[in-house]
Amino acid sequence: MGKFMKPGKVVLVLAGRYSGRKAVIVKVLCGYPLGQNCRQ
């Protein structure tokens, strides 16, 4: 996931409360528990 989601990119939100709106990626977070590194 981290390869195509880079900070500063503009994306379109497809689901949820803000669906259909534009957003800017500020920080990429991982879904892993704390203490584990993200795989890149």
Q: What is the pLDDT of residues 12-25, one digit of tens each?
A: 888 999 899 998 88
CA atoms within 13 A on the CB side of 14: 1
Q: How confident is the model over 35-40, as a mean pLDDT?
A: 57
Residue 5 is predicted with a pLDDT of 74
Task: Determine which helix (DSSP H) or strand (DSSP E) holds 23, and give its type and residue range.
Answer: strand 22-24
